[in-house]
């Protein structure tokens, strides 16, 4: 099921091509108004450490409540915003909103914000992030930025400079969707990532594919060697959670411990879900 969520979804159901093109154009126009009309909101999905089940942080995931089309998936409108140039204003709104909301959380959890490739390419990004922290009062140590490899392949030198400046402020950086795209070792070696997020499409295979387990194990080892946390995304099944814990991943995110939602989750609930194991997990092996 994790796989289905990551395959391209149809955004428009119009029968005619013309209608689809028109719908798309209208949606781009709507994107422009959506920030002012407060049509976007952030949902949060919990991330927990292994093997303790302690909450590590929350990933902010944007939602668009469209006046006539209802909830539209970010998998539809983020690419549209990227192409139409609306992504930078949207991305700034997301960053500021996530910092403001996280600053009010009762516990000092980290908020992880997805950064679009275009925004990483914006020379004002570092100033925008600094301003979002100052305005909200959120300490830099409580912000993590997630980016995919596609964000750094265009102008590697520039991307590296941006990330180093953000790191110097105390912000953590995660490599999102690892295992898809290039997954190049060179990127892991040259960029200052704190966390590798293993893609859900990969996690979906581990309970029936021994090769996938061997690769998972290697990525976990690589993470320990490079001093980067390895978080498995899209974990839905107790069997997947057991394998991920056994193979030494340091964190987990997925429906099994919590779906994205407007509010935070009960830490005791997360711990209980983490104990839903089909067979005993060796906590020492997971820590080694």
Q: Residues interacting with ligand C2E, by CB under 6 A? A: 1-2, 5, 45, 60-62, 73-75, 78, 91, 94, 114, 116, 146, 176-177, 200, 234-236, 254-255, 260
CB 190 to ligand C2E: min, Å? 22
Binding site partner of 46, from Mg ion, ligand C2E, none, Cβ cut-off 5-8 A by kind = none
C-alpha span between 269 and 261 (Å, rounded): 15
C-alpha span between 48 and 70 (Å, rounded): 31
DSSP state of 86: -
Binding site partner of 249, from ligand C2E, Mg ion, none, Cβ cut-off 5-8 A by kind = none
Stretch that binds Mg ion, among 98-106, 111-119, 209-217, 275-283 (CB under 5 A): 111-119
CB 280 to Mg ion: min, Å? 29
Indicate whether 114 belongs to the interface with Mg ion (CB under 5 A). yes
C-alpha span between 195 and 230 (Å, rounded): 6
Binding site partner of 126, from ligand C2E, Mg ion, none, Cβ cut-off 5-8 A by kind = none
Cβ atoms of 142 and 111 closer than 8 Å: yes
C-alpha span between 179 and 191 (Å, rounded): 16
Binding site partner of 94, from Mg ion, ligand C2E, none, Cβ cut-off 5-8 A by kind = ligand C2E
Residues of this chain, 245-264, that bind Mg ion according to CB under 5 A: none
Q: With CA atoms as reference, report the closest residue to 171 among 195, 139, 141, 194.
A: 141
Crossing angle for the helix pair 125-136 and 87-103, to the nearest 10 degrees: 30
Stretch that binds Mg ion, among 35-43, 82-90, 142-150, 273-281 (CB under 5 A): 142-150
Crossing angle for the helix pair 74-84 and 87-103, to the nearest 10 degrees: 130
Find all residues with CB under 8 Å of 201, minimum gap 6, and list them: 2, 3, 6, 179, 180, 234
Indicate whether 149 belongs to the interface with Mg ion (CB under 5 A). no
For Mg ion, the closer CB: 176 or 236: 176
SS3 at position 210:
helix
CB 61 to Mg ion: min, Å? 8
Indicate whether 101 belongs to the interface with Mg ion (CB under 5 A). no
CB 54 to ligand C2E: min, Å? 19
Residue in the block written with tokens 């998972």? 216
Stretch that binds Mg ion, among 41-49, 120-128, 161-169, 227-235 (CB under 5 A): 227-235
């Amino acid at each position: 099921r994790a796989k289905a969520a990551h395959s391209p979804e149809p955004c428009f159901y119009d029968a005619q091509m013309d209608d689809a093109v028109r719908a798309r154009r209208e949606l781009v126009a709507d994107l422009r108004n959506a920030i002012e009309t407060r049509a976007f909101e952030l949902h949060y999905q919990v991330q927990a450490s292994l093997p303790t089940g302690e909450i590590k942080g929350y990933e902010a995931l944007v939602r668009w409540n469209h006046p006539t089309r209802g909830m539209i998936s970010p998998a539809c409108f983020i690419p549209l915003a990227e192409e139409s140039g609306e992504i930078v204003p949207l991305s700034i709104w997301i960053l500021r909103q996530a910092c403001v909301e996280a600053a009010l959380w009762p516990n000092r959890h980290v908020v992880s914000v997805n950064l679009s490739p275009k925004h990483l390419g914006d020379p004002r990004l570092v100033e925008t992030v600094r301003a979002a922290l100052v305005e909200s009062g959120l300490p830099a140590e409580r912000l993590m930025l997630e980016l995919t490899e596609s964000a750094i392949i265009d102008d590697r030198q520039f991307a590296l400079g941006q990330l180093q400046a953000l790191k110097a402020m105390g912000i953590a950086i995660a490599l999102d969707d690892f295992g898809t795209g290039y997954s190049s070792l060179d990127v892991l070696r040259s960029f200052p990532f704190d966390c590798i997020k293993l893609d859900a499409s990969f996690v979906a295979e581990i309970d029936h594919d021994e090769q996938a387990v061997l690769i998972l194990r290697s990525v976990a080892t690589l993470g320990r060697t490079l001093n980067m946390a390895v978080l498995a995304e899209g974990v839905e099944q107790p069997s997947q959670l057991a394998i991920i814990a056994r193979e030494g991943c340091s964190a987990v995110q997925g429906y099994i411990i919590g779906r994205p939602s407007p509010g935070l989750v009960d830490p005791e609930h997360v711990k209980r879900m983490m104990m839903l194991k089909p067979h005993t997990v060796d906590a020492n092996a997971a820590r080694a």
